[in-house]
């Protein structure tokens, strides 16, 4: 049988039961009025109807069934006629209604009692009404009842009005105590609820407080005073109305859970700031008013969930204080929300939250990927520069050890030939001298080519010696300041050397300077190379300057290259590099 | 080639060594007038070998040579006990003896 059928059948049964209540009254009138009986039937009907709606809308929650049960028991307690069995059942059930009602209120909204105090209170309620009523019936014979002559209760043992009164009074006092405790619990629950929880709980709590207060009032008035008939009626009507309001409040609370528009806007704004995974969690928690909210990520490789810091997370099961909502996209699970069970599933809201969370997580993932890629690119750029340097160094060595040695040998051989030929053959001597001149020029060109590729002095002796050699070759006088004598990491030395070399070449070509200062300084873990001239300034490096290639070299080491060259104020070129402490000094090698 | 250049000018080459360690040993054993010493040696640094030879053969004049330029070595030349530096391409017996005599 489908749930729909069951619900429909129960609804039909409710209507029949309501009608039966009224009918029995018409056939066996008691001291109450027809209006009151119709009102009672209506209250029971509202509980049943609200329960069935809740059951239909939220079948996974037991609360709907519990609410319907309240309605049925209520109707059953009202429908009686003067026969021993219905009378006895009516009497026991009449107290039970309030106990089941209390159970439903405290179990709202999941249908499960959340904590020990609630369970204890509900158990006490059941015990009081069942035991109290049964024990009472053992002694109470309704002598003053209009129909007293025609029925008796089934459990009557010894008709004794004084004992019955004492039991009634005892039960009454206990009931009042339980009702007061219930009010305290309601208010405490309200106080500790989250914003989302209050949205759901609010109507139920306050309707329940009202109804319980009415019950307490009636108990006190009926139990300890002799109220006039009209007051009894007013109280009875009042209780019925307030009790009828409670299931409506249940429904309002259950169906009210949906994302507030403002909260959704706030969520999108917060997620728009591209927070990390934990930022996403905080934004969701704020938007949903549930500080306990946790966001976990599905890890297909391990088949489990992990939190933002990568630790595995077990999803709670059978924990009434936490609910789990799976986050899926395109049928694929990507995470889950662990949240306050009050933040009940409302598909629109969860779709919105899921989409927002997915967007933010996707952003965070892309950001992380981008960062990782940047790190890889930076590392690969450094490797490329390093590999390039290694190649340059090898070419320089090959030129030096190979070609240059051969040319030098030829020069020595020319010297020997010149000696053999003697001074008589002037023509041959002139030819030899010419060849030697060409050879010297060739050797010079080869040396300067090799130096441009990678200066041997930089490899062998380091930055200080290399800059000194550079300074000596510069046509414009160079003043070297504070160059550290110790060896630095090779890529750093190479970058600084080539920057200085290019800068000095530019000074010689364009600056019309009379003086250049080259400073190398180490401060706060940074190494600064500054080349300043007193020339005409106004240098433009936007074109195809050799400095552009050098900027790549500098940035590959996380450094920065800056040129300031105002017209008439000379040119200052500044290259700045971070120096890892461990690499501050290296033995020369 | 260096031996042929020097002998062509009437100098006597009394020994040859292929690395720094054997150069120190030979200089100590022979006690030559002049040692022509390459700055770049298979087993290390010519400047250190120059100091070692100066220690074992006090009379010997040391002249450093290299296919590198003097300019690249200037800072270290300032500290050496060698008489001077002769670029490889400029090698001749005349230049060598002149440089050996340049320092008392």
Segment-wise mean pLDDT, segments of 10 residues, chain A, 589 residues: 75 78 68 75 87 80 86 80 76 83 84 84 90 82 53 74 83 88 87 73 85 85 80 83 86 65 66 68 75 79 78 76 76 80 59 74 74 85 89 91 90 89 87 94 92 87 89 91 84 91 89 91 88 84 69 87 85 88 47
Mutation target among B69, B70, B80, B87 for the A interface, most CBs of A within 10 A: B69
Tell me which residue has tokens 């004492």: A166
Mutation target among A400, A410, A416, A440 for the B interface, most CBs of B within 10 A: A416
Q: Under a CB-based contact definition with an 8 Å cutoff, are residues A539 and A520 in contact?
A: no
Res A517: pLDDT: 94
What are the start-end ranges of the E strands in A291-450? Answer: 294-299, 304-306, 312-313, 323-329, 332-339
Q: What residues of chain B, 6 to 45, have a C-beta less than 8 Å from chain A?
A: 8-9
Burial A75-108 (b: 16+ CB within 10 A, else e): bbbbbbbbeeebbbbbbbbbbbbbbbbbbbbbbb
Distance of alpha carbon B42 from alpha carbon A243, whole angstroms: 105
B28 conformational bin, left if phi > 0, alpha if psi -120 to 50, beta if neither: alpha
- Check B76 against A419: CB less than 8 A apart: no
The answer for residues whose C-beta is within 8 angstroms of residue B3's C-beta and 6 or more apart is: B13, B16
Res A262: pLDDT: 59
Distance of alpha carbon A142 from alpha carbon A162, whole angstroms: 13
Distance of alpha carbon B99 from alpha carbon B36, whole angstroms: 11
- Kindly report the nearest CA distance between residue A433 and chain B, in angstroms: 14
Q: Under a CB-based contact definition with an 8 Å cutoff, are residues A446 and A403 in contact?
A: yes
- Check B67 against A404: CB less than 8 A apart: yes
Distance of alpha carbon A44 from alpha carbon A53, whole angstroms: 14
Tell me which residue has tokens 């004992």: A163
In angstroms, what CA-CA distances link A384 with A392, A456, A520?
A: 12, 21, 25
Percent of chain B surpassing pLDDT 90: 7
Tell me which residue has tokens 């062998």: A460
- Check A456 against B72: CB less than 8 A apart: yes
In angstroms, what CA-CA distances link A4 with A1, A23, A250, A251?
A: 8, 28, 21, 18
The H or E element that residue A564 is part of is: strand A560-564
- At CB < 8 Å, which residues of chain A contact B? 400, 404-405, 407-409, 411-413, 415-416, 419, 439-440, 443, 447, 455-457, 460-461, 464-465, 468-469, 472-473
- Check A468 against B75: CB less than 8 A apart: yes
Mutation target among B48, B66, B72, B90 for the A interface, most CBs of A within 10 A: B72
- Please tell me what DSSP assigns to residue A536: -
- Check B69 against A400: CB less than 8 A apart: no
């Amino acid at each position: 049988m489908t749930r729909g059928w069951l619900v429909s059948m129960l609804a039909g049964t409710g209507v029949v039961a309501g009608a039966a209540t009224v009918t029995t009254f018409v056939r066996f009138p008691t001291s109450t009025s027809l209006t009151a009986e119709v009102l009672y039937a209506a209250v029971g009907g509202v509980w049943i109807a609200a329960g069935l709606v809740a059951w239909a809308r939220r079948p996974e929650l037991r609360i709907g069934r519990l609410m319907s049960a309240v309605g049925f028991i209520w109707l059953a307690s009202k429908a009686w006629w003067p026969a021993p069995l219905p009378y006895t059942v009516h009497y026991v059930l009449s107290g039970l209604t309030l106990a089941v009602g209390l159970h439903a209120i405290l179990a709202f909204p999941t249908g499960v009692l959340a904590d020990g105090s609630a369970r204890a209170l509900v158990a006490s309620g059941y015990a009081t009404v069942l035991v109290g009523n049964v024990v009472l019936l053992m002694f109470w014979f309704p002598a003053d009842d209009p129909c007293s002559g025609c029925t008796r209760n089934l459990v009557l043992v010894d008709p004794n009005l004084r004992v019955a009164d004492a039991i009634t009074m005892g039960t009454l006092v206990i009931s009042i105590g339980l009702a007061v405790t219930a009010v305290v619990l309601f208010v405490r629950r309200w106080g500790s609820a989250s914003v989302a929880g209050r949205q759901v709980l609010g109507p139920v709590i306050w309707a329940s407080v009202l109804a319980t207060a009415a019950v307490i009032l009636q108990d006190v008035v009926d139990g300890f005073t002799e109220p006039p008939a009209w007051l009894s009626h007013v109280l009875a009507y009042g209780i019925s109305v307030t009790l009828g309001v409670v299931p409506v409040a249940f429904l309002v609370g259950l169906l009210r859970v949906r994302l507030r528009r403002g909260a959704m806007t706030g969520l999108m704004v917060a997620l728009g700031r591209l927070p990390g995974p934990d930022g996403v969690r905080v934004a969701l928690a704020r938007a949903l008013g549930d500080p306990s909210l946790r966001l976990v990520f599905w890890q297909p490789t391990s088949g489990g969930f992990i939190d933002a810091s990568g630790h595995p997370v077990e999803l709670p099961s059978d924990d009434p204080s936490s609910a789990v909502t799976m986050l899926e996209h395109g049928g694929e699970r990507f995470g889950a929300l662990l949240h306050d069970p009050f933040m009940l599933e409302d598909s629109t809201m969860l779709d919105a939250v899921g989409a927002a969370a997915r967007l933010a997580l996707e952003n965070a993932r892309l950001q992380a990927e981008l960062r990782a890629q940047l790190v890889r690119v930076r590392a690969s750029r450094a490797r490329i520069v390093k590999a390039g340097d290694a190649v340059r160094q090898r070419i320089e060595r090959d030129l030096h050890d190979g070609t240059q040695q051969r040319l030098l040998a030829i020069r020595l051989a020319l010297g020997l030939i010149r000696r053999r030929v003697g001074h008589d053959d002037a023509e041959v001597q002139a030819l030899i001298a010419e060849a030697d001149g060409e050879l010297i020029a060739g050797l010079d060109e080869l040396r300067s080519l090799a130096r441009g590729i990678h200066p041997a002095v930089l490899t062998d002796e380091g930055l200080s010696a290399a800059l000194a050699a550079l300074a000596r070759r510069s046509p414009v006088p160079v003043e070297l300041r504070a160059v550290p004598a110790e060896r630095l990491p090779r890529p750093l030395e190479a970058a600084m050397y080539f920057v200085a070399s290019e800068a000095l070449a530019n000074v010689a070509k364009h600056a019309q300077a009379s003086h250049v200062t080259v400073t190398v300084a180490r401060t706060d873990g940074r190494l600064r190379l500054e080349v300043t001239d007193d020339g005409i300034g106004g240098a433009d490096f936007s074109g195809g300057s050799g400095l552009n290639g050098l900027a790549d070299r500098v940035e590959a080491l996380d450094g920065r290259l800056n040129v300031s060259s105002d017209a008439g104020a000379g040119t200052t070129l500044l290259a700045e590099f971070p120096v890892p402490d461990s690499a501050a000094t290296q033995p020369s090698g | 080639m260096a031996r042929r250049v020097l002998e062509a000018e009437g100098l006597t080459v009394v020994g040859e060594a292929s690395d720094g360690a054997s150069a120190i040993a030979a200089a100590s054993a022979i006690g030559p007038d002049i040692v022509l010493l390459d700055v770049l040696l298979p087993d290390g640094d010519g400047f250190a070998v120059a100091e070692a030879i100066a220690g074992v053969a006090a009379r010997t004049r040391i002249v450093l040579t290299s296919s590198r330029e003097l300019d690249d070595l200037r800072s270290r030349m300032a500290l050496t006990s060698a008489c001077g530096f002769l670029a490889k391409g400029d090698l001749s017996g005349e230049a060598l003896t002149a440089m050996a005599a340049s320092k008392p």
